[in-house]
Amino acid sequence: MELSAISDEQVEILLSDLLENYGYDFTGYSRASLKRRVIRLYTLDKITGFTEFRYKINQDEMYFKRFVEQLTVNVTEMFRDPGFFKTLRDVVLPRLGTYPLIRIWLAGCSTGEEAYSMSILLKELNLLHKSLIYATDLNPKVLEKASQGMFPLTYMKQYSENYIASGGQQDFSSYYTAKYSLAKFDDELRSKIIFSTHNLVSDHSFNEFQLILCRNVLIYFDRDLQHKVLELFNNSLEDLGYLALGSKETIDFSNISNSFKRLDQEKIWRKVN
């Protein structure tokens, strides 16, 4: 199906419906990315026309959930970008280790791979017992999956390689139990993670953090919404706290850039004033 199967105007109608009927505000998301995802679902589900598509989204709650899931799907893996996690291990987390309680916010956590990666890092640095990881996402369905701590066993080879490259100190397989075709991660790792829905577009700050990670989410937002979300992070971060973004994201040219100093190489900034 060609891109013209859903017009730009029809995408705007769907976004307006989502906001009006469900309170989900996607109006600041990159239109090119949204349109690709809308058309992919339209094609996948063999919808016969836009009227039917719109009706299903607005009247069928299960289909609405599927629609939102497709719009917000993020590709993730454990210890993605090992160099980034090595910087967390060697530089950031040891500094935070001086705090009596370490509060970390993983915004846009998707199915939870990053949350469990963080938990493993904290455990190996003997910091897990005094840490809380708030893992949030717009999509309740992916959070439900994340809370189970189970991932396909076939992914473990790649995850183990990432872990080793990030400076991992143990046998990666010691952190999970194989159950049929799934790897279930230890309850101890799960015990310090709070999974919760949070909409970066419309929800407010809910705590003060020493470390905020929001990796590969801002690339789906337009410039105005990026600035709004970065302001939210700034307001949620303690002085001398750290903000980590994805490899193609930056705080440069934003209103908060003067308040942060970037660490070498990786996309991590420290709040300096």
Nearest to 134 by CA among 86, 159, 102, 163: 102
Burial tier of 199 (Cβ tally within 10 Å: 0-12, 13-18, 19+): middle
Tell me the average pLDDT across 59-63: 90
pLDDT tens for residues 139-188?
A: 888 899 999 999 999 999 999 999 999 999 899 999 999 989 999 999 99
Rounded to an integer, what distance in angstroms lies between the CA atom of residue 153 and that of residue 45? 28
Could you tell me the pLDDT band of residue 195, with boundaries at 50, 70 and 90? very high
The secondary structure of 113-173 as a DSSP string is HHHHHHHHHHHHTT-GGGEEEEEEES-HHHHHHHHHTEEEGGGHHHHHHHHHHTT--S-GG
Confirm if 259 and 272 have CB atoms less than 8 A apart: yes
Confirm if 269 and 263 have CB atoms less than 8 A apart: yes
pTM, rounded to two decimals:
0.82
pLDDT tens for residues 202-227?
A: 889 999 999 999 998 888 888 888 99
Rounded to an integer, what distance in angstroms lies between the CA atom of residue 93 and that of residue 236? 18
pLDDT value at 4 more than 60: no
The sheet carrying 150-152 orders its strands as 150-152, 182-185, 176-179
